Amino acid sequence: MRTRQMPIDMHKIQRYYHHKDFRKPSHSHAGNGVVTEPRKRGSREIKIVRRVLDVNDAIAQQNRDLFAEKGVFVINVMSSPGSGKTAILVKTLSHITQKIRCAVIVGDICTSNDADRLAGFGAPVVQVNTDAFGGDCHLAAHVIKTAVNNFNLDEIDLLIVENLGNLVCPAEFDMGENLRIVVLSVTEGEDKPLKYPLMFRVCDAALLNKIDLLPHLDYDRKTAVRNILQVKPGMPVFEISAKTEEGFNPWIEWLIQKLHDIKLYP
Amino acid sequence: MHEMGIAMQIVEIAIASIPADLENARIDRVNLKVGKLAAVVPESLHFCFQIAAQDTPLYQADLHIEEIPVVAKCADCHVEWTVLEPVFKCGQCSSGSVEIISGRELDIISIEVVDEDTTDAD
């Protein structure tokens, strides 16, 4: 049942608390936004009002500041597993690395297969395996902060982050990126945007991939696009094939225009 | 899928919020607001919280989750509505300029602390 299926590392949690003397906080929160209410019969409510992920948000902001200082434009590419993120990035790199200095961070739970596929375009690639962090289902800001130490940011214009295949969790974690791209492929259901609205809400553009397969599928691309636009009206949707490169030019032009708009060539 | 990480973060924040003057404090309730659009499943979070709270001052704590509805506001005609289906388009003027007013919360609101020494004295 559910309890047996949960991939929880009890040892990790026990290690996590092993060194903590939780009864003696190391610092006081007086004057730190925490209000203590009058005690009532040995119990009292302490107001906190804090975002649970504020630690991630704070690191994301540090990343954002660093990227701005170094003039690095960052995109976060997200999708379900198998939608073609890596194939799209391979083709995207082949189009732009002549003009734009790129670097890539690839997140996976295991293996360096994606990094291997992305190597060879003159762009440095760093593979992050999240099993070292407990098999996380997304890349969080601290992972990016560490991973960028592998690059000389002064020599990079565009940093592409390929997130883990997952339409749920990555949507919740800011990494300090400039743009979020969601990939949906025509072998998935047209209703994916309605099933995972947060992901499509937080993204700035959608790539509808594998359109070369449309002749073999009962897929209604108009419905898919309509569903995307119901969740995020006005979002640019690029219908592409990473295999044949059909539809790639508008996507590449849009991406380069965003670089122009936001920072590279004022 | 990341509820365990969130549960651990809740435990961490709760422990750091125990006032320093309480020697033997135990937290018996954590009040949380979770928006319906947040990528969190309350049932999973409850389960993970029980595990994350073990061997901490939260070991007996209830996690109380208040679910917050998704409320949107049209940037053009300023009408507000509760979003029940994943359609973010103004029903009044059909504008797509929609602001999410609530529904993305993942906030720890308060903790309720019992001072074991004081309880004993009562």
A34, part of any domain: no
**pLDDT at residue A183, as a whole number:** 98
**pLDDT at residue A159, as a whole number:** 97
**pLDDT at residue B117, as a whole number:** 64
Query: Where residue B115 falls among pLDDT bands split at 50, 70, 90?
Result: confident
CA gap A84, A72 in Å, rounded = 25
In whole numbers, what is the pLDDT of chain B averaged over residues?
Answer: 92
For residue B25 the two structure tokens come to: 């404090």
In angstroms, the separation between the Cα of residue A97 and the nearest Cα of chain B is 34
**pLDDT at residue B118, as a whole number:** 57
Q: Which domain holds residue A75?
A: 71-262
A246, part of any domain: yes
AA identity, residue B119? T
Q: Do B107 and A166 touch (CB under 8 A)?
A: no
List, run by run, the mean pLDDT of 10-residue segments along chain A (266 residues). 38 43 41 48 86 94 96 96 96 94 92 88 89 70 94 96 91 95 97 96 97 97 97 97 98 95 62
AA identity, residue B87? V
**B68, B105 contact by CB (below 8 A):** yes
Over its C-alpha atoms, chain B yields an Rg (Å, rounded) of: 19
Count structural domains, chain A.
1
Q: Is A201 on the interface with B (CB under 8 A)?
A: yes
User: Considering only residues 60 to 119 of chain A, which have any Cβ-Cβ distance to chain B shorter than 8 Å?
Assistant: none
CA gap B17, A252 in Å, rounded = 48
Closest-approach residue (CA) in chain A for B47: A3
Mean pLDDT of B97-122: 84
- Indicate which of A10, A14, A46, A168 best probes the interface with B, i.e. most B CBs within 10 Å of its own CB: A46
A35, part of any domain: no
pLDDT tens-digit profile of B46-101?
999 999 999 999 999 999 999 999 999 999 999 999 999 999 999 999 999 999 99
A234, part of any domain: yes
**pLDDT at residue A16, as a whole number:** 42
3-state helix, strand, coil in chain B (%, to 5): 25, 35, 40
pTM (predicted TM-score): 0.84
A46, part of any domain: no
Mean pLDDT of B37-53: 94
A203, part of any domain: yes
CATH number (domain holding residue A232):
3.40.50.300
For residue A146 the two structure tokens come to: 């560490």
Task: Return the bridge partners of A162, or none.
Answer: A77, A106
Q: Is B84 on the interface with A (CB under 8 A)?
A: no
**Domain B3-69+102-116 sits in CATH 1.10.1040.50:** no
Instruction: With CA atoms as reference, report the closest residue to B49 among B29, B71, B74.
Output: B29
Q: What is the arrangement of strands in the sheet containing A158-165, beginning at the earlier edge strand?
A: A125-129, A102-108, A158-165, A73-79, A179-185, A205-209, A237-239
Q: Is A20 on the interface with B (CB under 8 A)?
A: yes
CA gap B108, A31 in Å, rounded = 18
Q: Do B9 and A55 touch (CB under 8 A)?
A: yes
